[in-house]
A and B are shown apart, each in its own frame.
Chain A
Amino acid sequence: MTQINVRVDGTSYSDDVEPRTLLVHYLREGLGKVGTVVGCDTSNCGACTVHLDGEAVKSCTVLAVQADGGTVTTIEGIADGGTLHPMQKAFHEMHGLQCGFCTPGMIMASIDLVGDNPDPSDDEVREGIEGNLCRCTGYQNIVRAVQQAAAEMRGTGTASAPAEAVARA
Chain B
Amino acid sequence: MIPAAFAYARPTTVDEALQAIADGGEDVKVLAGGQSLIPVMRLRLAAPETVVDLTRVAELRGVREEGDVLVVGAMTTHSDVLADPLLAQYGQLLVQATETVADRQVRHRGTFGGALAHADPAGDLPAVALALDAEFVLVGPSGRRTVPASEFFVDYLTTALEEGELLVEIRLPKLGSEWGVRYEKFNRVAQAWSIVAVAAAVRREGGRIAEARIGLTNMGSTPLRATATEAALLGADVSLEAVTAAAALAADGTSPSSDLNAQADYRQHLARVLTRRALSAATGL
- Physical interaction between A and B: yes
Which residues from chain A sit less than 8 Å from chain B, CB to CB? 2, 18-22, 25, 41-44, 46, 49, 55-58, 60-63, 65-66, 109, 112-113, 128-133
> Is the Cβ of B104 less than 8 Å from the Cβ of A18?
no
A21 to B41: give the CA distance in the assembly, Å. 12
Which residues from chain B sit less than 8 Å from chain A, CB to CB? 1-8, 10, 31, 34-35, 38-39, 41-43, 51, 53, 55, 79, 102-106, 108-109, 190-192
A128 to B107: give the CA distance in the assembly, Å. 11
> Is the Cβ of A61 less than 8 Å from the Cβ of B103?
no
> Is the Cβ of A20 less than 8 Å from the Cβ of B39?
no
> Is the Cβ of A57 less than 8 Å from the Cβ of B105?
yes
> 19 other contacts beyond A20-B4, A133-B190, with CB at 8 A cut-off?
A2-B8, A18-B5, A19-B7, A20-B2, A21-B2, A25-B2, A41-B43, A42-B39, A46-B103, A57-B105, A57-B108, A58-B109, A61-B106, A62-B34, A62-B38, A62-B109, A65-B53, A129-B103, A130-B192
Task: Quote the shortest CB–CB distance from B117 to chain A (angstroms).
Answer: 17
> Is the Cβ of A58 less than 8 Å from the Cβ of B4?
no
A61 to B109: give the CA distance in the assembly, Å. 9
Q: Which residues of A contact B102 (CB under 8 A)?
A: 131
Q: Which 10 pairs from chain A and chain B are nearest by CB?
A: A131-B103, A19-B8, A55-B108, A20-B3, A130-B103, A131-B105, A58-B105, A43-B39, A56-B105, A61-B38
Q: Identify which of B35, B108, B190 contacts A43 (C-beta below 8 A).
A: B35
Q: Which residues of A contact B7 (CB under 8 A)?
A: 19
Q: Identify which of B6, B108, B190 contacts A56 (C-beta below 8 A).
A: B108
Q: Which residues of A contact B53 (CB under 8 A)?
A: 63, 65-66
Q: Which residues of A contact B79 (CB under 8 A)?
A: 55
Task: Quote the shortest CB–CB distance from A82 to chain B (angstroms).
Answer: 29
Task: Quote the shortest CB–CB distance from B129 to chain A (angstroms).
Answer: 23
Contacts A20-B2, A20-B3, A21-B2 hold; do A41 and B106 have CB atoms under 8 A apart? no
> Which B-chain residue is minimally distant from A108 (CB atoms)?
B105
A2 to B39: give the CA distance in the assembly, Å. 21
Task: Quote the shortest CB–CB distance from A15 to chain B (angstroms).
Answer: 15
Q: Identify which of B2, B5, B51, B191 contacts A22 (C-beta below 8 A).
A: B2
11 sampled A-B residue pairs with Cβ under 8 A: A22-B3, A25-B2, A43-B39, A46-B103, A49-B105, A55-B79, A61-B38, A63-B53, A66-B53, A112-B105, A130-B104
Q: Which residues of A contact B105 (CB under 8 A)?
A: 46, 49, 56-58, 109, 112, 131
A58 to B33: give the CA distance in the assembly, Å. 12
A60 to B41: give the CA distance in the assembly, Å. 12
> Is the Cβ of A66 less than 8 Å from the Cβ of B190?
no
> Is the Cβ of B42 less than 8 Å from the Cβ of A66?
no
> Which B-chain residue is minimally distant from A24 (CB atoms)?
B2
Task: Quote the shortest CB–CB distance from A19 to chain B (angstroms).
Answer: 4
Task: Quote the shortest CB–CB distance from B220 to chain A (angstroms).
Answer: 25
